[in-house]
Amino acid sequence: MKRLFIIPAAAAIIAATAGCTPEPTSGTVTELDYEPESFFTSQMCTSRYDAKGRYTGQTCTPVTTYYPECYEVEYEDDSTDTTGEDCISEELYEALEIGDLYTKEMKVSDVA
């Protein structure tokens, strides 16, 4: 019984990741951007039906998503032609410039 579940689950994972290029771990800084914290609220609605299948209305619930402040660096790995982006510390954001080499493990002291 477990095999019947594992095979479709594995196939779904493979299908979802097929053709995806992994994000590079380093590259040349192409853009620096600041995104302040924000909230986004939307409605999730569900239709209601009676026992005979007739529509009786809908119930809506607000759904709020929080996006924290982000000092974002976008970078490109020229050898693989892939791009990546990370939220970094404010200090590292202030130290980096367009054209600098960025690595995911980078600290402010690593910026030349």
pLDDT level of residue 1 (50, 70, 90 thresholds): very low
Tokens 């402010």 sit at which residue?
108
- Residue by residue, DSSP assigns 90-105 as HHHHHH--TT-EEETT
Contact 94, 29 (CB under 8 A): no
Task: Express each pLDDT in 8-28 by its tens digit.
Answer: 555 555 555 555 678 888 999
Dist CA 33 CA 26 (whole Å): 17
Tokens 């689950």 sit at which residue?
9
Q: What is the pLDDT of residue 78?
A: 82
Q: What is the pLDDT of residue 19?
A: 57
Q: pTM of the predicted model, to two decimals?
A: 0.64
Confidence check: pLDDT of 89 > 60: yes
